[in-house]
Amino acid sequence: MALSRRDFLKLCAGGAASISMSGFLAPFLKEAAAAGNPPVIWLAGAACTGCSVSLLNTVHPDIKEVLLNVISLRYHSTVMGGAGDLAMEAMKKTAEENNGDFFLVVEGAVPLKDGGIYCTVGETHDGQPITFANLVQEIGQKAYAVLNVGTCSAYGGVPAAAPNPTGCVPVSEVLQGKPIINIPGCPAHPDWIVGTIAHVLLYKSLPELDKFGRPTMFYGGIVHDNCPRRQYFDNGIFAQNFSDPGCLLEIGCRGPYAHCDATYRQWNHGMNSCIRCGGPCIGCTEPGFPDGPVYERLPEFSFGPQTKVSADTVGIALGALTVAGIGGHLIGNVASGRIPGKHEEKEGDN
């Protein structure tokens, strides 16, 4: 292998020249997949399809390259040829024939309330709907590893937000004993998805993960440290209204605790980023997303130019906010102090 793991990590962590996964990677991926592209089953639960759409925006390698030369996508309800039983059979056949060798990608949270009836996929032979929770368990048990793409499958995300009407939980709560990689983001950046898959294929091992199960090569730094508006912060110039120049802290920016490299990687082929366009960071890669009011200043959080927040301290309580979740009990569900009464409790916490 001509590309060392060290070089690969540098390439990823460096945002590959600030734009996208380098075209330089494609030949190595082809080499890695020479033995046959690894089968992938992609299941969507309580999801919005946004992470699948985001993956379509991958630049180098482009989506055609990914589908034809990197992975073998056997089931993905939004793109596949077949439908109904034909599709379900293709999924089950893939899992059986490649027991222990395929990747399961999950997009979306897993609703558990009322027996999981709020998301079903296909039917059993006797006409009973198959719950998404059961499907994830059945297929997941046979997978080599599970990739949770997006914050919903990783931590619960938007559908698990208080009061969590359908009892949504992350995949790690219904599937144990399998290696799980979380690739959060709402949506996940295509580079994070492709880069993580590339790492596993190239080095036959999982990338280094932080305590929230995220690859450190993408989620190692915080937004604030590489913010395009950092100079405003250092100079004490703060935007008070939308579209003002200035640091966005006063209008709700989560940059000081959000682990995400999109400030320098940027989105959509280097076109723009959340903060650059004037939108405060909403912290969408964090286990607590979505937390308190988007456009209100983070409570009781003091900043200095030397502010340092690491992955290991991000679980701190932010005033009235509670950011929960470790290991197999990740909860993507944080109630803000503004949601009254019982909703302050974390849903599904055990």
Partner 1 sequence: MAQKIIIDPVTRIEGHLKIEAEVDGGKVIEARSSGSLFRGIELILQGRDPRDAQHFVMRICGVCPISHATASAMALDSAFGLEVPDNGRIIRNLIYGANFIHSHLLHFYALAALDYVDVVRAGLAVPPFMPRYEVAGEYRLPDALNKAAAEQYVQALDMRKKAHEMLAIWGGRAPHPQAIVPGGVTEIVDAQKVIEYAYRLKELRSFVENVYVPTVQKVAELYSDYLEVGVGCKNMLAYGGFPQSAADPQGADGFFKRGAYIQGKDVVMSPNLITEEVKYSWYNDDTGGSKHPDESVITPNPQKPGAYSWLKAPRYDGHPMEVGPLARMWVGKNQAVRSLGDKAFSVMGRHFARAVECLELTKIMEQWLLQLQPGKPVCVPHIIPKEADGIGLTEGPRGALGHWIKIEKGLTSKYNAVVPTTWNAAPKDDKGQRGPIEEALVGTTVKDPKNPIELVRIVRAFDPCLGCAIHLMTPDKKVLSEYRIN
Q: What residues numbered 40-59 form the site for partner 1, per CB under 8 A? A: 44-54, 56-57, 59
| Smallest distance from partner 1 to CB 123, Å | 5
Q: Is 320 in the site for partner 1 (CB under 8 A)?
A: no
Shortest Cβ 326–partner 1 spacing (Å): 24
Q: Please give the single-letter amino acid code of residue 86.
A: L
* Sequence letter at residue 49: T
Instruction: Work out whether 349 is an interface residue with partner 1 (CB under 8 A).
Output: no
Task: Check binding of 123 to partner 1 (CB under 8 A).
Answer: yes
Q: Which is nearer to partner 1, 96 or 304 (CB)?
A: 96
User: In angstroms, what is the minimal distance from the CB of 262 to partner 1?
Assistant: 7
DSSP tag of 242: T
Cα dihedral: 324, 273, 269, 308 (round 10): -50
Shortest separation between residue 45's beta carbon and partner 1, angstroms: 8
Residue closer to partner 1 (CB basis): 207 or 283: 283
Tokens 């009235």 -> residue: 320
Region near partner 1 per CB under 8 A, out of 22-30, 120-128, 201-209, 216-224: 120-128
Integer Cα distance of 8 and 2 in angstroms: 10
Within its chain, how far is the Cα of 161 from the centroid? Answer: 16
Written as six digits, the tokens of 256 are 């000081």
Structure tokens at 80: 């596949």
**Which residues are within 8 A (CB) of 236 and not within 5 positions of it... i.e. 6 or more apart?**
none
Of 253-282, binders to partner 1 (CB under 8 A) are: 262, 267-269, 271-280, 282
Nearer to partner 1, 9 or 201 (CB): 201
Q: Which of 25, 26, 336, 346 binds partner 1 (CB under 8 A)?
A: 336
3-state secondary structure 67-112: HHHHCEEEEECCCCCCCHHHHHHHHHHHHHHCCCCCEEEEECEEEC
Distance, in Å, from the CA atom of 258 to the CA atom of 291, rounded to the nearest integer, reads: 12
**Closer of 8 and 132 to partner 1 (Cβ):** 132
- 34 is a site residue for partner 1 (CB under 8 A): no
Question: 67-96: which residues touch partner 1 (CB under 8 A)?
Answer: 67-68, 72-84, 86-88, 90
Q: Give the residue, chosen from 122, 220, 315, 328, that forms a contact with partner 1 under the rule CB under 8 A.
A: 122
Tokens 């990740």 -> residue: 330
| 111 or 207: CB nearest partner 1 | 111
Q: Which residues 6+ apart lie within 8 Å of 45 measured at CB?
A: 106, 107, 108, 109, 110, 111, 119, 132, 136, 152, 153
Contact 200, 27 (CB under 8 A): no
Which lies closer to partner 1 via its Cβ, residue 8 or residue 267?
267
Please tell me whether residue 147 binds partner 1 under the rule CB under 8 A. no
The half-sphere exposure of 138 on its side-chain side, counting CA atoms within 13 A, is 15
- Comparing CB distances to partner 1, the nearer of 7 and 114 is 114
Closest listed residue to residue 106, CA positions, set 158, 62, 54, 151: 151
Residue 202: CB minimum distance to partner 1, A: 22
Nearer to partner 1, 163 or 328 (CB): 163
Among 3, 139, 186, 197, binds partner 1 (CB under 8 A): 186
Q: Say how far apart CA 189 and CA 21 lie, in whole Å.
A: 11
CB of 190 to partner 1, least distance (A): 10
Q: Does 220 bind partner 1 (CB under 8 A)?
A: no
Regarding 19 and contact with partner 1 (CB under 8 A), the answer is no
